[in-house]
A and B are shown apart, each in its own frame.
Chain A
């Protein structure tokens, strides 16, 4: 019996929570009722037997628990009346009968999209958005969220309690936004998923260079989001970007096995990666999705970044990479999202396509940008380019600049080793 309950994965739990949150407009009530329904299952299933659809049973039980609370608490009842869901209570809730009767409902609708929008609401801080999305959409426990975001559990408990209070006080709707707001709001949701992945992919602090659980979680959320939005016919234009985001994450994740050096956990640059280690399954899926995203109307920054990742994924080796194509794609990306990091990507690609002398000229032209001066990859790109031009003292200076910027320890080790190599060249 506990085995059955354990098999009700956190996706199902999150779906139940989402349905209740949307119906009752209250996250706390939804959480408590879901919890109570699981508790009821533990006591009643041994006598009644496990229902045919445990998820449907739990959802019905949770709804009844929530309605009980609503009937008891007049404050909530007033709130619900305002939300015009009184009609839902009208057909005598008692006639819901025993939740076990509800097993006829086989297909349980997934209403997590509304929660996605609420958790990634622009009225919330970005830290809150990331934590809430992991907690309520991904269905992680508070302790798991704390672990994934490298925050003490008590800190995360407080953050989530405060964030839930803010959702309630501000009146953040637990609903899918109206059509005219959808594109902008969807971009916010995608940003949270992307941030989760990026945070897991390269930790800016801490020991581990890569956080498996967070990147896996982000890909899972990107899949859920794409599937959920796919069901909403009104957002066709946005779907190419959702496809692009998933493709980008898969193609980036595919390189992960080759990205760190086993024993030391040091990062391996793209040029030195063993491409045999790349995850073929992710590449095949990612390439197909990237192609679909690029061909669809409304292709934007994620579709373009997925296309760049696809060019890398298709290349036999670093040297055989179609750098001209990558430079063109960075040019397209710059039209959507102008910024120093995109210009850096384009400069590196052009340098690869036309030689290190061109690369140095382009990189030096970006040197005045204060954001890039604080950006490790910029100094690393300059160091590598100068090294290729046999300007070892310039390369050593660039590595030192990179090391002066705070980063994770694994990367520090890698940069220190690279600097040692250059100093060896200088002595030799």
Chain B
């Protein structure tokens, strides 16, 4: 089954590389391990949420482009993996190993819908 591992951060917590946050080296090491295991379908890492550009619609249905994330986000996706593993237990094992689930962050696991 395919699962998305969404590596979540919180705006009030130390960012990657900051004092108290996970270090980039830890993320690189995890990336090497999960890639070597042959379960990664695809992966991505995102710039900080303040670098976002948001495209939405106004009351008239016209597209509106604005700077920054939608509303005031507290939690944001910092990166993610799509993995192909046997079951939720294996997905949980990878989420446990990820530095993103250490103090100050969490990993949200979502099954990929089979469309």
Bound state CA distance, A171 and B88, in angstroms? 5
Task: For residue A320, give the distance in angstroms from its CB to the closest CB of chain B.
Answer: 50
CB contacts under 8 Å to B, within A58-90, are: none
Task: For residue A75, give the distance in angstroms from its CB to the closest CB of chain B.
Answer: 9
Map CB proximity to B onto A170-184 as digits: 1 under 8 Å, 0 otherwise. Answer: 111100011001000
Whether a CB of chain A sits under 8 angstroms from the CB of B87 is: yes
| Contact between chains at B87 and A172 (CB < 8 Å) | yes
Residues of chain A within 8 A of B93, CB atoms compared: 181
Bound state CA distance, A235 and B97, in angstroms? 24
Whether a CB of chain A sits under 8 angstroms from the CB of B1 is: yes
Whether a CB of chain A sits under 8 angstroms from the CB of B111 is: yes
Task: For residue A343, give the distance in angstroms from its CB to the closest CB of chain B.
Answer: 27
| Contact between chains at A123 and B111 (CB < 8 Å) | no
**In the complex, how many residues of chain A place their beta carbon closer than 8 angstroms to a beta carbon of chain B?**
11
Nearest residue (CB) in A for B113 is A169
Bound state CA distance, A177 and B1, in angstroms? 17
Whether a CB of chain A sits under 8 angstroms from the CB of B39 is: no
| Contact between chains at B89 and A170 (CB < 8 Å) | no
Map CB proximity to A onto B48-76 as digits: 1 under 8 Å, 0 otherwise. Answer: 00000000000000000000000000000
Whether a CB of chain A sits under 8 angstroms from the CB of B86 is: yes
Residues of chain A within 8 A of B89, CB atoms compared: 172-173, 177-178, 181
| Contact between chains at A171 and B92 (CB < 8 Å) | no
Nearest residue (CB) in B for A167 is B88
| Contact between chains at A173 and B87 (CB < 8 Å) | yes
CB contacts under 8 Å to B, within A28-63, are: none
Bound state CA distance, A112 and B48, in angstroms? 48
Bound state CA distance, A123 and B88, in angstroms? 8
Q: Tell which of B86, B88, B89, B111 has the most Cβ of chain A within 10 Å.
A: B89
Task: For residue A217, give the distance in angstroms from its CB to the closest CB of chain B.
Answer: 27
CB contacts under 8 Å to A, within B85-114, are: 86-89, 91-93, 111
Bound state CA distance, A123 and B87, in angstroms? 12
Nearest residue (CB) in A for B110 is A170
Task: For residue B114, give the distance in angstroms from its CB to the closest CB of chain A.
Answer: 9
| Contact between chains at A123 and B86 (CB < 8 Å) | no
Map CB proximity to B onto A103-147 as digits: 1 under 8 Å, 0 otherwise. Answer: 000000000000000000111000000000000000000000000
Bound state CA distance, A169 and B93, in angstroms? 18
Q: Tell which of A122, A170, A177 has the most Cβ of chain B within 10 Å.
A: A170
| Contact between chains at B86 and A173 (CB < 8 Å) | yes
Residues of chain B within 8 A of A172, CB atoms compared: 87-89
Nearest residue (CB) in A for B85 is A171
Map CB proximity to A onto B1-44 as digits: 1 under 8 Å, 0 otherwise. Answer: 10100000000000000000000000000000000000000000
Task: For residue B29, give the distance in angstroms from its CB to the closest CB of chain A.
Answer: 21
Residues of chain B within 8 A of A178, CB atoms compared: 89
| Contact between chains at B92 and A123 (CB < 8 Å) | yes
| Contact between chains at B92 and A170 (CB < 8 Å) | no
Nearest residue (CB) in A for B1 is A171
Task: For residue B25, give the distance in angstroms from its CB to the closest CB of chain A.
Answer: 26
Bound state CA distance, A173 and B1, in angstroms? 11
Task: For residue A132, give the distance in angstroms from its CB to the closest CB of chain B.
Answer: 15
Residues of chain A within 8 A of B91, CB atoms compared: 171
Task: For residue A211, give the distance in angstroms from its CB to the closest CB of chain B.
Answer: 32
New contact pairs (9) apart from A171-B1, A172-B88, A172-B89, CB-CB < 8 Å:
A121-B88, A122-B92, A123-B92, A169-B111, A170-B88, A171-B3, A173-B88, A177-B89, A181-B89
Which chain A residues have a beta carbon within 8 Å of chain B's beta carbons? 121-123, 169-173, 177-178, 181
A–B pairs, 16, beta carbons within 8 Å: A121-B88, A123-B88, A170-B88, A170-B111, A171-B3, A171-B87, A171-B91, A171-B111, A172-B87, A172-B89, A173-B87, A173-B88, A173-B89, A178-B89, A181-B89, A181-B93
What are the 4 tightest A-B residue pairs by CB atom distance, in nearest-first order?
A173-B87, A171-B1, A171-B87, A171-B88
